[in-house]
């Protein structure tokens, strides 16, 4: 980030009385929380509990029923959906995909634009362990490699927050742990806020600092430090056990 870039807020996203739902009807109770820099928030709950609805409302992909999503205008918010929109029949290279994350409103094919941001692209590739893959075709990569490339694309604009929807759903346990270790390193080294929707109760307690538990059926939202959420009665009612967060 250059010296002329405005200093971004320590709170990339704040939810104030946010009601997520459809057609003017709230699916969940109002949510109040601040997602701060350096925190990793886990969004957890059963299938159909309202996770995707809340996630899409935070991102602005769905209109809110009520309340506000306050975003820091000095930095971008990056989103990695569960299923990539990339057509694997298109022979895109890794480096081209990462460059797409710089600015969707300008041509990343412009020599001036590419040259000015070359260092940002290289840093993103290095930090995600994808530098050696830069000129490989995206469609040739393993699922774990593809996800790392998409994370490189997400961080190349130096976001304040990255949002991921089930980033490890198609991975084996070793690749899953490697992915959460990468997210943990990035949030620490970049002072990055992370919001990840996942069912991985083997990984989330180890790497998350905070959690949001949603349950549309019970009309309940529990948000706070990870250990408080995992020790809550709502968590035990849904999952049938108490989990422990690493300290």
Helices 118-127 and 173-189 sit at what angle, rounded to 10 degrees?
A: 130
Q: What is the mean pLDDT of residues 17-21?
A: 96
Q: What is the mean pLDDT of residues 132-152?
A: 94
**In this structure, what token pair is assigned to residue 240?**
């049938």
| Nearest alpha-carbon partner for 147 in 163, 128, 132 | 128
Confidence label for 197 from pLDDT (cuts 50, 70 and 90)? very high
Say yes or no to pLDDT of 113 above 60: no
Query: What does residue 49 show for φ and ψ, rounded to 5 degrees?
Result: -85, -10
Between strands 193-197 and 31-35, the pairing is: unpaired
| Nearest alpha-carbon partner for 72 in 198, 137, 158, 132 | 158
Q: What is the mean pLDDT of residues 205-212?
A: 96
**In this structure, what token pair is assigned to residue 109?**
């094919």
Say yes or no to pLDDT of 5 above 70: no
Say yes or no to pLDDT of 118 above 80: yes
Higher pLDDT, 4 or 153: 153
User: How do residues 30-42 score in pLDDT, each as one tens digit?
Assistant: 999 999 999 999 9
Query: What does residue 72 show for φ and ψ, rounded to 5 degrees?
Result: -70, 120
Cβ atoms 225, 210 nearer than 8 A: yes
């Amino acid at each position: 980030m250059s010296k002329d870039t405005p200093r971004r807020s320590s709170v990339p996203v704040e939810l104030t009385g946010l009601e997520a739902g459809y057609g003017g009807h709230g699916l969940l109770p109002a949510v109040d929380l601040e997602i701060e820099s350096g925190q990793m928030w886990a969004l957890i709950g059963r299938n159909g509990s309202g996770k995707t609805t809340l996630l899409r409302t935070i991102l602005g992909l769905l209109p809110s029923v009520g309340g506000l999503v306050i975003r820091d205008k000095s930095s971008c918010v990056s989103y990695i959906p569960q299923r990539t929109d990339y057509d694997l029949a298109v022979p895109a290279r890794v480096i081209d995909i990462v460059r797409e994350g710089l600015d969707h409103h300008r041509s990343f094919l412009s020599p001036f634009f590419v040259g000015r941001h070359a260092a940002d692209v290289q840093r993103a590739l290095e930090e995600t362990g994808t530098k050696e893959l830069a000129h490989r075709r995206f469609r040739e990569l393993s699922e774990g490699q593809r996800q790392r490339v998409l994370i490189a694309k997400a961080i190349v604009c130096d976001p304040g927050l990255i949002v991921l929807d089930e980033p490890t759903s198609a991975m084996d346990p070793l690749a899953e742990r490697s992915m959460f270790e990468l997210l943990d390193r990035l949030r620490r080294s970049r002072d990055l806020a992370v919001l990840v929707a996942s069912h991985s109760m083997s990984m989330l307690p180890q790497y998350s600092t905070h959690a949001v538990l949603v349950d549309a059926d019970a009309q309940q939202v529990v948000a706070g430090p990870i250990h408080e959420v995992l020790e809550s009665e709502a968590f035990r009612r849904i999952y049938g056990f108490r989990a422990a967060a690493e300290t």
